[in-house]
């Protein structure tokens, strides 16, 4: 039997870990974690609301990114809220790589991400476009 990572029986921490793994390996699956009315914000950018708007924003942000890899350094979870301290290594389309520190904070309701906040400085990714 396979488990559904967005099942309400799975913990917020497990869903958040799976979300980051999907970001690294299967971006379509990554978007499947979001509720239709999810709230998303990266750094000081404006808040984006709704899974379709989030997909458009992320596609624009990752336009020159060939891949990324999250390494979880610390985890914290309380009920349906989880925070992860991570290092994110970006591989750009030209082959260059760099690693940025970040903290992600998710809120999970009924097995779906309803709020996803990323605290990091995304300017190196934006500058590399």
Per-residue pLDDT of the chain (129 residues; tens, 9 = 90+): 344 555 556 799 999 999 999 999 999 999 999 999 999 999 999 999 999 999 999 998 888 899 999 999 999 999 999 999 999 999 999 999 999 999 999 999 999 999 999 999 988 888 877
Neighbours of 112 (CB within 10 A): 18
CATH fold label, 12-127: Nuclear Transport Factor 2; Chain: A, (3.10.450)
Question: pTM for the complete prediction?
Answer: 0.88
Q: Where are the domains of the chain?
A: 12-127
Q: Please name the helix (run of DSSP H) or strand (run of DSSP E) that holds residue 17, with its range, or none.
A: helix 12-25
Between the CA of residue 105 and those of 3, 9, 20, 94, what are the distances in Å?
23, 20, 11, 30
């Amino acid at each position: 039997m396979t488990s559904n990572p967005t099942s309400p029986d799975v913990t917020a921490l497990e869903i958040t870990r799976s979300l980051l793994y999907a970001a690294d390996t299967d971006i379509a699956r990554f978007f499947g974690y979001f509720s239709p009315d999810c709230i998303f914000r990266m750094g000081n950018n404006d808040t984006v609301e709704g899974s379709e708007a989030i997909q458009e924003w992320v596609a624009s942000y990752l336009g020159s990114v060939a891949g990324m890899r999250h390494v979880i350094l610390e985890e914290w979870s309380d009920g349906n809220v989880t925070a992860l301290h991570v290092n994110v290594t970006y591989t750009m389309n030209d082959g260059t790589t760099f690693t940025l520190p970040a903290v992600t904070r998710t809120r999970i309701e009924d097995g779906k991400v309803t709020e996803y906040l990323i605290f990091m400085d995304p300017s190196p990714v934006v500058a590399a476009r």
